[in-house]
């Protein structure tokens, strides 16, 4: 791509910038140094003096595009002013010479023709070319020269006018800032209200389907300029809720344009929201804005090299009453899985629990709150045959946000036989020994049994002389796991994960702060 003689620096840089943005949208990395080099080698010959000066006085590797364009525009303005001054001087010189010749002719005419008068300077009929009255049309300096339809001046045409940018800016302001919209595919291969085309040149998400909106602000009005310079009206802006394999997604700032032929999915707007779109092979892959490894959608390239995708809209709440009941009970029971809810209903284990309908998609709060690594292979292990025969224990913390009581840790005690669980909250890990004695005294008096085996990890809060001496005196076999093998204490690990997932899911659903974590943990255990 080369700069044309009729283009200004601003116009040419706009074309280069649009090309760079399109390449970036398709996944190619364009460094700023490459853009600087492209501008230096592709401008016209009239910029050779300033280009030579820049190359000799500045370091190209550290020169920014903004600095380069500013230098080129400053040179362009100085050059334009000099051309205008030289044109005005030449015009004024010719007028002076014509005025002197006119005076000489007038004096000669007076001496030879007596009282016969001739029009003096400034008394001619208005020239039909420049409208001035100090010369005849046949002597007009601008005779045969083009007139710009933009600024009405002579000597250049509209496409070369230096005031073209300002004129266009005024027009755009009067038109209420028309957005630019270009179709990546003229021949639509697939049609339908649920078909959306991924478009790297669309300024916003746009649709003609009013029924797709979950919320629509019809007071929003503006205009959109299509690729064929046709202007269509925007009748509103809102949000569209869709179902994906990764749960419900809300697409915001979608423009409603009734006269649009197809639904357009803006690449630029998705990138502004933090999503990553990768084009490769014959497909476009969309990655999550929070987890760059999580794939939201993968769209195959179809006919005419377009990327159509089918979206499944999430209807209004009035049409989803039964489904909403299922989601409501899912949240009420600490984001309990739907299969478990169905079993509870079938066996009538809960009163007032409605019949759970089949739901589509996944709970986004569960996806965020229940993420975990792959489990270790399960194996045979010894199980207790009576209460307090084996106690599992685990310390979790420190939490990033303390509770209202300034607790940052909690400790679990799980009876292997009954799976009864106790939780205690602590400010420091040093409180473990004191809490264990308190727990031992409580459960042994309530059950009439004695703790025989205690299983924990090798944390210093458990593995110390004071703790070991106490267990030895009380006849408790203290078992510790091998380093970096938490699966040996799998009961505690699994219980900790279960209650933490429930607590995080409830906090995520409520959009509340983490200092309420203690309350959510109590709620998880009660559930």
**Do the two domains 179-313 and 390-526 of this chain adopt the same fold?**
no
Task: State yes or no: pLDDT of 161 exceeds 90.
Answer: no
* Coil, helix or strand at residue 266: strand
Specify which residues 390 forms β-bridges with. 453
Q: Quick check: 195 and 308 in contact, CB under 8 A?
A: yes
pLDDT single digits (tens) 61-85: 888 888 888 888 888 888 877 766 5
pLDDT band per the 50, 70, 90 thresholds, residue 216: confident
- Domain range 179-313, CATH class: mainly beta
Rounded Cα distance, 358 and 366, in Å: 17
Helix axes 9-25, 32-42, angle to 10 degrees: 140
Tokens 């009035």 belong to residue? 318
Q: Quick check: 198 and 309 in contact, CB under 8 A?
A: yes
Task: State yes or no: pLDDT of 432 exceeds 90.
Answer: yes
pLDDT band per the 50, 70, 90 thresholds, residue 519: low
Mean pLDDT of all residues in 97-106: 52
Helix axes 65-113, 9-25, angle to 10 degrees: 150
Q: What percent of the chain has pLDDT over 90?
A: 16
* Coil, helix or strand at residue 247: strand
Task: State yes or no: pLDDT of 476 exceeds 90.
Answer: yes
Q: What percent of the chain has pLDDT over 70?
A: 76
- The whole model's pTM is what? 0.32
Q: What pLDDT, on a 0 to 100 scale, did the predictor assign at position 376?
A: 64
Q: What pLDDT, on a 0 to 100 scale, did the predictor assign at position 320?
A: 36
CATH architecture of the domain with residue range 390-526: 2-Layer Sandwich (3.30)
Q: What pLDDT, on a 0 to 100 scale, did the predictor assign at position 499?
A: 86
Neighbours of 267 (CB within 10 A): 25
Q: What pLDDT, on a 0 to 100 scale, did the predictor assign at position 123?
A: 60
| Domain assignments of the chain as residue spans, ordered by start | 9-81, 179-313, 319-361, 390-526
Task: State yes or no: pLDDT of 471 exceeds 90.
Answer: yes
Rounded Cα distance, 492 and 392, in Å: 6
End-to-end CA distance of the chain: 67
Alpha helices in 114-218 (DSSP H): 164-174
Rounded Cα distance, 204 and 177, in Å: 14
Q: Quick check: 454 and 468 in contact, CB under 8 A?
A: no
pLDDT single digits (tens) 17-37: 888 887 777 777 788 888 888
Task: State yes or no: pLDDT of 176 exceeds 70.
Answer: no
């Amino acid at each position: 791509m080369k700069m044309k003689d009729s283009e200004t620096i601003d116009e040419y840089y706009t074309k280069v910038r649009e090309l760079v943005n399109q390449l970036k949208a398709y996944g190619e990395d364009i460094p700023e140094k490459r853009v600087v080099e492209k501008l230096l080698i592709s401008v016209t010959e009239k910029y050779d003096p300033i280009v030579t000066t820049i190359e000799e006085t500045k370091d190209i590797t550290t020169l920014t595009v903004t600095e380069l364009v500013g230098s080129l525009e400053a040179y362009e303005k100085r050059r334009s002013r000099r051309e205008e001054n030289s044109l005005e001087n030449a015009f004024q010189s010719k007028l002076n010479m014509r005025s002197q010749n006119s005076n000489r002719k007038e004096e000669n005419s007076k001496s030879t023709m007596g009282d016969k008068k001739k029009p003096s300077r400034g008394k001619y009929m208005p020239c039909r070319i420049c409208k001035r009255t100090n010369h005849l049309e046949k002597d007009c300096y601008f005779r045969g020269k083009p007139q710009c339809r933009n600024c009405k001046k002579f000597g250049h045409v509209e496409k070369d006018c230096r005031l073209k940018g300002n004129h266009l800016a005024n027009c755009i302001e009067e038109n209420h800032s028309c957005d630019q919209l270009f179709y990546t595919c003229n021949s639509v291969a697939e049609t339908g209200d649920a078909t959306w085309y991924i478009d790297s040149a669309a300024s916003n998400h746009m649709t003609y389907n009013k029924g797709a909106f979950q919320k629509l602000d019809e007071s929003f009005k503006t205009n959109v300029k299509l690729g064929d310079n046709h202007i269509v009206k925007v009748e509103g802006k809102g949000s569209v809720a869709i179902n994906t394999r990764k749960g419900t997604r809300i697409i915001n700032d979608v423009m409603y344009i009734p006269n649009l032929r197809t639904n357009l999915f803006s690449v630029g707007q998705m990138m502004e929201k933090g999503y990553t779109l990768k084009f490769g092979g014959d497909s476009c892959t969309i990655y999550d804005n929070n987890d760059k490894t999580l794939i939201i959608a993968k769209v195959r390239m179809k006919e005419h090299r377009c990327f159509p995708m089918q979206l499944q809209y999430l209807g209004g709440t009035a049409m989803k009453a039964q489904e909403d009941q299922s989601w409501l009970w899912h949240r009420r029971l600490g984001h309990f899985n739907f299969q478990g809810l169905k079993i509870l209903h079938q066996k009538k284990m809960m009163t007032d629990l409605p019949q759970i309908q089949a739901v589509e998609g996944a709970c986004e709060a569960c996806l965020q709150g229940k993420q975990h690594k792959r489990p270790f292979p399960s194996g045979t292990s010894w199980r207790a045959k009576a209460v307090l025969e084996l106690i599992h224990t685990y310390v979790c913390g420190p939490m990033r946000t303390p509770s209202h009581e300034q607790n940052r840790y909690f400790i679990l005690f799980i009876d292997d036989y009954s799976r009864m669980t106790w939780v205690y909250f602590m400010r420091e890990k040093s409180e473990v020994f004191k809490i264990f004695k308190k727990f031992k005294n409580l459960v042994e008096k309530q059950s009439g049994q004695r703790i025989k085996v205690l299983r924990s990890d090798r944390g210093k809060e458990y593995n110390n002389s004071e703790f070991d001496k106490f267990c030895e005196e009380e006849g408790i076999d203290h078992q510790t796991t091998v380093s970096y093998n938490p699966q040996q204490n799998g009961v505690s690990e699994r219980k900790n994960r279960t209650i933490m997932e429930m607590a995080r899911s409830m906090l995520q659903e409520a959009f509340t702060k983490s200092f309420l974590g203690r309350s959510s943990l109590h709620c998880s255990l009660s559930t």
